[in-house]
Chain A
Amino acid sequence: MADEDLEQLLDEESELSLLETLDHVLNRGLVIAGEITIAVADIDLIFLGLNVLVSSVETAHEVLKERQQIQSPKSEV
């Protein structure tokens, strides 16, 4: 596999991990009334909700499928 393809796979997995983190830390956890003050960043990341996460779930499946095929080309996915 080309280095740039592997890099893309790793990036996609990293992105999925980040989105899972967002799903946890933004939506849940202890709240001190009136003390959540977040600003959506215009540079690095915007959380678009579960639709983004779902898109990444589908991407993750393709990523894992490709990885399995690379590791064992004859095995069924």
Chain B
Amino acid sequence: MNLYAYCLGDEVTAGAVENELGVAGAHPRLVERAGIAAVVSEYDDEKIAVTRENVLAHERVVRRVLALTTPLPFRFGTIVSEARLVSYLDAQEAKLKEQLARVRGAVEMSVKIIWRPEARGNEAAGGRDIGTAGGSGTRFLLEKRRELLGEGALKERAEEVSAWLGRAVEGLVRESSVSLRPSENLILAASHLVERELLADYRRALGCAKTERPELHFLTSGAWPPYSFISVAP
């Protein structure tokens, strides 16, 4: 029998999770080692399907812990023997405790900003109307120029939006992790590590900021466990 691993922490108690239903309907329990408790449940397989049910079961257990303390969440699909898990906790004890201290008392908030389709087209066009100017060679070169200028303009725009967002939440965020233009339509994807006591202020600041930029679309979510603020090499 394997274990499905949800998260770990140094302030987790069995009572917090034992009544929850995890993956495959199993009740979570703890595997404790050196002051760190891993939240796990029995799992009778070597792989797990990415289904709505399984993903939500994983998240449900981790959120149960998050309600009481900030854990380090495992990536979905972590299936391990108890012996392997104990070995991992032993080997990584110092790093795990360091990471737990890093995120203690905080949660992760997520902000994704996308272009309005017409705004992205204008940026990419670089202000030039190619139309039917010149022959096919000219049009090809103009198109290439538009691509290059457009890429540059998009990059500058993403950097400007990132700097603006940083100013909007300055003083309310312990750490930030920002990815610029992670995809064609996304200007940026930001993760903010926010003190629990500052969450209301953070949400207010973000709400005000959104009204300043009606040309942008925002997707904000959280509070999440600190998935993006873990740097423990496997």
Q: Which residues of A contact B51 (CB under 8 A)?
A: 41, 43-45
Given A30-B75, A36-B77, CB of A60 within 8 Å of CB of B228:
no
Q: Residue B5 at the A interface, CB < 8 A?
A: yes
The residue that B232 contacts in the complex, of A30, A38, A39, A43, with Cβ under 8 A, is A30
B interface residue count range (under 10 / 10 to 19 / 20 to 34 / 35 or more): 35 or more
| A38 vs B227: C-alpha distance when bound (angstroms) | 18
Q: Are A25 and B59 in contact (CB under 8 A)?
A: yes
Q: Is B186 a contact partner of A45 (Cβ separation < 8 A)? A: no
Q: How far is the CA of A46 from the CA of B17 in the complex (A)?
A: 28
Report which A residues bind B (CB closer than 8 A): 16-18, 20-41, 43-47, 49-51, 53-54, 57-58, 60-61
B73 within 8 A of A: yes
Hey, which chain A residues are within 8 Å of B110, CB to CB? 20, 23-24
B85 CB–A CB distance under 8 Å: yes
Please tell me if the beta carbons of B75 and A37 are within 8 angstroms of each other in the complex.
Answer: no
- Tell me the residues in window 32-63 of chain B with beta carbons closer than 8 Å to chain A beta carbons: 46-53, 55-56, 58-59
Given A31-B234, A57-B219, A60-B219, are A44 and B76 neighbors across the interface (CB < 8 Å)?
no
Q: A61 — which chain B residues lie within 8 A by C-beta?
A: 217
B residues whose Cβ falls under 8 Å from a Cβ of A:
5, 7-8, 46-53, 55-56, 58-59, 72-80, 84-85, 88, 110, 112, 114, 182-186, 189, 217, 219, 221, 224-225, 227-228, 230, 232, 234
Q: Is the CB of A30 within 8 A of B8?
A: yes
Instruction: Provide the bound-state CA to CA distance between A11 and B110, in Å.
Output: 21
Q: B78 contacts A45, CB within 8 Å?
A: no
Given contacts A30-B8, A32-B84, A45-B50, 5 further A-B contacts (CB under 8 A): A27-B227, A30-B230, A36-B75, A44-B51, A54-B185
- Residues of chain A within 8 A of B7, CB atoms compared: 30
Q: Are B76 and A32 in contact (CB under 8 A)?
A: no
Docked-complex contact A40 and B49, CB < 8 angstroms:
yes
Contact B52 A29 (CB under 8 A): no
- Nearest residue, chain B, Cβ from A30: B74
Q: List the 10 closest pairs (A to B, CB-CB), nearest first.
A: A29-B75, A38-B77, A33-B234, A28-B227, A25-B76, A37-B47, A41-B49, A44-B51, A31-B234, A41-B51
**Taking A32-B84, A32-B85, A35-B78 as contacts, is the C-beta distance between A20 and B52 under 8 angstroms?**
no
B228 and A28 within 8 A (CB): yes
